[in-house]
Amino acid sequence: MSVFSLIIINKAGGLVYQREFQPGLRKLSTNDYLVLAGTFHGVHAITRTITPKLPLTVTAPATTPTTASTPNVTSPSATSTPMPSSAAATSSATAAAAAAAAAAATTTHSFPNPGVPATGLETMETDKFRLTCFQTLTGTKFLLFTDPLMTNIDVIMKKIYELYADFVMKNPFYQLEMPVRCESFDRNLTGWLRGRA
């Protein structure tokens, strides 16, 4: 089973990393990768937007901006599946609703986080590949191109995220949101993928 390639998109929709691991897909030009990243980012945002928001409780909005006070509560807060778990290209609106209900039941004097976006597009499939998107809670997106029959993609994704946390985030020469040029990230990533293939 092949893992073809990986793309990392920063919070603003910029392509910060692109790497091929196994042949199988045709190469794109650098420009096309940039377009792919930006387009996916936009589509992902829209798929989140069309997900219905479920109001929880209505409380008074903040009056003084500097002090901590009641925020506006508008959206469901506990879509607590950070890893893409299903192959469905829908956002987990039902899970969100359930979680929101649970939160509402237990949080009479607490505030759910209104900044939480609903989950967006998670997978896309063609005859030749599957594209899986994992968005971290911080807004970074990992896009993995694999064989469409491949299973356990969440395991791979989780490991990639860990390697990213190790070899990108702990590297003092990496600047946040900038292109990832970390030799040891490349080395460990390819090494690990080769090891499990």
Partner 1 sequence: MSSATKASRIGEELWKTRVDKVNAELVTLTYGTIVAQLCQDYDGNYQEVNKQLEKMGYNIGMRLIEDFLAKSNVGRCANFRETADMIAKVGFRIFLNIAPTVTNWTSDNNQFSLVFDENPLADFVELPDDGRAQDELWFSNILCGVLRGALEMVQMQIEAHFVSDVLRGDDTTEMRVSLVRYIEDEMPPDEE
Partner 2 sequence: MTQPQPPRHAAMLSISNGGSSLAAAADKQQPPQHLHTQSQSSQGLRVPSNRKTIYDRHLNRSRNAELSRASFAFLFAEMVTYAQRRVTGIQDLEKRLNEQGYPLGLRLLDLLFYRTMSSSTSSSLSSSSTSSSPPNRPLRILPLLHLIHGPLWRLLFNRPADALEHSVSPETPNEYMITDNDPLVNTYISVPKEMNMLNCAAFVAGIIEGVCDGCGFEAKVTAHNQPTEMWPGRTIFLLRFGESVMEREKVLERAGVK
Contacting residues toward partner 1, per CB under 8 A: 11-13, 42, 45, 49, 62, 65-72, 77-83, 99, 102-103, 106-107, 109-117, 136-140, 158, 161-162, 164-166, 169-170, 176
Closer CB to partner 2, 17 or 145, in the complex: 17
Shortest distance, position 63 Cβ to partner 2, whole Å: 37
Please tell me the number of Cα atoms within 13 Å of 93 on its side-chain side: 12
Residue 52 gets the label, from left (phi > 0), alpha (psi -120 to 50) or beta, of beta
- 195 lies in the binding site for partner 2 (CB under 8 A): no
Shortest distance, position 148 Cβ to partner 1, whole Å: 26
Within 150-189, the residues that bind partner 2 by CB under 8 A are 166-167, 170-174, 181-185, 187
- How far apart CA 157 and CA 134 sit, in angstroms, is 7
- Non-local (6+) Cβ contacts of 131 within 8 A are 123, 124, 125, 143, 144, 145
Which residues bind to partner 2, rule: CB under 8 A?
166-167, 170-174, 181-185, 187
